[in-house]
Amino acid sequence: MAASLRVIVVLVCVTAGAALADAAAGGVRVGLTRIHSEPGVTASQFVRDALRRDMHRRARFGRELASSSSSSSPAGTVSAPTRKDLPNGGEYIMTLAIGTPPQSYPAIADTGSDLVWTQCAPCGERCFKQPSPLYNPSSSPTFRVLPCSSALNLCAAEARLAGATPPPGCACRYNQTYGTGWTSGLQGSETFTFGSSPADQVRVPGIAFGCSNASSDDWNGSAGLVGLGRGGLSLVSQLAAGMFSYCLTPFQDTKSKSTLLLGPAAAAAALNGTGVRSTPFVPSPSKPPMSTYYYLNLTGISVGAAALPIPPGAFALRADGTGGLIIDSGTTITSLVDAAYKRVRAAVRSLVKLPVTDGSNATGLDLCFALPSSSAPPATLPSMTLHFGGGADMVLPVENYMILDGGMWCLAMRSQTDGELSTLGNYQQQNLHILYDVQKETLSFAPAKCSTL
């Protein structure tokens, strides 16, 4: 985990009082690392494990959509990437501190989910191993059970919807289901501390979070998750940050630093350059979990100057909540509906004058080319352009859609069943400064050398 990701957080929240005012004025820094940055991990191992994790995540998306159509629960299923036996995934980990005195814990930063949670003591055999000590709510005088009156209390909302009375103090357990498992615990509120050094630390009281003491999954390299989605439980919403941005260094660069920012500083950094493009978010369906996701209007794809003959509406979000395309920091490899993926695959296949080889066992990818011994890939492939609504073109250089692994050169995309959710993954977001303006409902992006920010 050598690639440290610096985070500048500018906090603007009515409920946090003077601490948030101070943060808004000066900002604070927290650290973040990339899970897969481990010595000896080959590109094929990384992609295979990331794809397996993506498949679990895709299965979870499908189950959530089905449950949202049949369930009356307002909470739905909070989404999060699972980590069971996937040591080399492509998630990014934010380091925060919780409680009094502050205790640091690493958590996956995820734009595709809302809930902020960490494992809590007591935690028995149902918990996974984590790199930091367990947070113990009984040892922190600032811990509180989230009151029933809170709009963020999942358990109380479910009880009221069912016509029942919430338990006294709302000390009831929640259960969150994921693609390959679940986590369960008590919802509370606590003081969170942001800052990489004592000089710039800011303590923010009253953050609602999940205190988990049972889980079926091993979230390798983390102690929980920080949701950055569009729902009220996400860190972005609770801090009323209004906007956030990130700039991800290349996956094979395990030494350089990346940057994630929340609040006004995000716009100042992301929009202070050339080549900035902006596109409006597509309104999300009102039901969870789809209400969490950042949907985009992808209207077409070009390879070089050639626009691909992708059927109109291939990426359209349907009235029943199916289809559409989201941008997701918790997914590694971009998935496209099959009608679009076939055109992309055919275009790349026609341009690369190398023999096709079966790389599915090594990487899980569908299109790989055999390279001559000790040879770099030919520098003849053009960039790929994703055309978004409002004339916003996202240009992907070849290293953002092809991956090199020894003797193979593979298309780092995969097919998705037509009509299902497509996802723009973080591999395709390398060296792009991406701004989520949740107030103006727009996504802005520009090419950048992320290691220098």
Rg of the chain (C-alpha set): 21
- Write out the two tokens for 158: 């479910």
Query: Measured between alpha carbons, how far is 273 from 448 in angstroms, rounded to an integer?
Result: 9
**DSSP state for residue 237 in the 8-state scheme:** H
Q: Terminal CA-to-CA distance of the chain, rounded, Å?
A: 19
For 407-445, b/e burial (b = at least 16 CB within 10 A) is bbbbbbbbbbeeebbbbbbbbbbbbbbbbbbbeeebbbb
Tally of residues, the chain: 453
Phi-psi region of 76 (alpha: psi -120 to 50; beta: other; left: phi over 0): left
Determine the Cα–Cα distance for residues 206 and 135; give it in Å rounded to an integer.
Answer: 16
Phi and psi at 327, nearest 5°, equal -100, 130
AA identity, residue 227: G
- Nearest to 112, CA basis, from 155, 64, 183, 49: 64
CA angle 445, 440, 23 (to 5 degrees): 85
C-alpha 437/C-alpha 426 separation (Å) is 18
* Tokens encoding 268: 């100042």
Classify burial at 287, counting beta carbons within 10 Å of its beta carbon; exposed 0-12, middle 13-18, buried 19 or more: middle
Are the C-beta atoms of 105 and 33 separated by less than 8 Å? Answer: no
Measured CA to CA, the distance from residue 131 to residue 249 in angstroms comes to 24
Which sequence positions are flagged as catalytic? 110, 328
Q: Distance between CA atoms of 370 and 357, rounded to whole angstroms?
A: 6
Q: Which residues contact 307 (CB under 8 A, 6 or more apart)?
A: 300, 301
Cβ atoms within 10 Å, residue 199? 8
Distance separating alpha carbons of residues 263 and 27, to the nearest angstrom: 9
How many whole angstroms separate alpha carbon 2 and alpha carbon 91? 13
